[in-house]
Amino acid sequence: MITYEDGGLRALAEDGRWPELLAAYRQGRAAAVVEAGEEAAAALTAPLGHLIAYAAPPELAVRLFDRDGGAETAAGVADHDAGPLWEVLATRHSWLRLAPLLGPSPVRRLVAHTRALLGEDLSYGAEPDPEGVPLRLEPWEAAGWDETARVREYLPGGGARSALLTLPASREGLGEVELPPAAQSAGRPAGPRVARALAGLGALAPWAATACVRGQAPAAAALLARDRRVVGGYLPFALAYPALVRAAAVERSRGCAHGRLGLWRALAAMAGAGDADRADGAAGAEGTGGIDRREVNALVARMRCFTWQEPSAGLHHLHVALEDPAGGVAWVVSGSQDL
């Protein structure tokens, strides 16, 4: 089995002999698939893949994802070490360098949205996103976090640094709040858009619970909070946005681009969910799959976000209720996970 731990491969990296390293990666991955299966093969060869994605010239690094080497030799979207190999690649080179090299594939799309998260404006230099998610950050996306913390910081020899997912992060700005009784939180709306919004929020954080209520954000929080009396408060959506994006990247096989795309899908569904009780024909009229950026921006502008602390939170935790006052609907996401 060929892996990066072999001394000969480390010597090749030090000498910059990237074509030989790529050949070793492909050979090792194909052999591991035969011997141990796809999942094990991805894990065994990921350290070498990380090195190539991080340090090789982009013209060669993008070939990690090409299938011209034969069956089972190419890295897939889920191949990861400290994080997805495509995200490692995207942190190392601009879209200007990568765009002519990446073929049309899920990897290309995820790399483009990673570059957008890192501050690049791709709205004029890239093909439109198939769902209509903008290829540059909206002002509310950029406002809540520093550019250097939006994606994992990958290290040359493997590993990564990333911010902890904590919402709320502290008691600052929060106070004692009594949530409404559960009986007042019983009205749960239904409809295709509500279902899509809940599915989108659930995909962001599979380790968290989600729910929806017709009412205000504290009523939604009451559905999942452990106690009626909590330490909580309101915050701008721009400050909740980073945690919602990071929620999708808790698992190392997923990157922050997954979080951004998933959250835009959820917000697009939430933007019309106040009409969920109308006839199915009206509710389904929007159903081409496209995302209306203006609708999402309008929702974010009016949205009210409530967050609260739980007595025992894991190192990753997310407790937030998102209220659309125009539609009279609120969603809640709550859960924690230890590292």
Q: Report residue 183's pLDDT band, with 50, 70 and 90 as the boundaries.
A: low
- pLDDT reading at 184 higher than 70: no
**Residue 297 burial by Cβ neighbours in a 10 Å radius (0-12, 13-18, 19+):** middle
- pLDDT reading at 28 higher than 70: yes
Q: Record the pTM.
A: 0.91
* Gap between the Cα atoms of 156 and 168, Å rounded: 32
Instruction: Quote the pLDDT of residue 339.
Output: 54
- With b meaning 16 or more CB within 10 Å and e meaning fewer, what string describes 201-220? bebbbeebebbbbbbbbbbb
Choice among 75-89, 179-193, 225-239 with the minimum mean pLDDT? 179-193
Q: How far is CA 203 from the centre of its chain?
A: 9
DSSP β-ladder status, 329-337 and 209-214: antiparallel
* Gap between the Cα atoms of 310 and 303, Å rounded: 23
- Nearest Cα neighbor of 287 from 267, 269, 264 is 269
Instruction: Quote the pLDDT of residue 276.
Output: 46
Q: How far is CA 90 from the centre of its chain?
A: 14
